[in-house]
Amino acid sequence: EMSEMSERSKQNVAHGLAWSYYVGYLKIVLPRMKKSMEEFSRANPNLPACRKTWKLHILVPLSCDVYDDLEKADSNIQYMTDLTETTLARAGTKKRVYKHSLYAIRDEENQLWHCAVEYATPLQSLYAMSQDECAAFSREERLEQAKLFYRTLEEILKGSKECADAYRLIAYEEPEEAETHFLSREIVWHLRQEHHEEIAVLEGNHLHTPSTALDSAELNLQISVSDLPQPLRTDGF
Residue predicted with more confidence, 64 or 223? 64
**CA neighbor of 138 nearest in space, from 154, 127, 152:** 127
**CA neighbor of 17 nearest in space, from 142, 156, 159, 149:** 149
**CA neighbor of 182 nearest in space, from 52, 79, 67:** 67
Model confidence at 204, pLDDT cuts 50, 70, 90, reads low
**Neighbour-count burial for 113-131, b at 16+ CB within 10 Å, e otherwise:** bbbbbebbebbebbbebbe
**What is 1-203's CATH number?**
3.40.50.12100
Q: What confidence tens digit (pLDDT) does each residue in 112-168 have?
A: 999 999 999 999 998 888 877 666 677 888 899 999 999 999 999 999 999 999 999
Q: State how far the Cα of 111 lies from the Cα of 202, in Å rounded to an integer.
A: 23
pLDDT of residue 11: 58
Residue 77 CB-density burial (10 A; 0-12 exposed, 13-18 middle, 19+ buried): buried
Q: Report pTM.
A: 0.80
User: Which H or E run contains 79?
Assistant: strand 77-82
Kindly list the distances between the CA atom of residue 80 and the CA atoms of 25, 47, 167, in Å, as whole numbers in the listed order. Answer: 23, 12, 19
pLDDT of residue 213: 39
Model confidence at 74, pLDDT cuts 50, 70, 90, reads very high
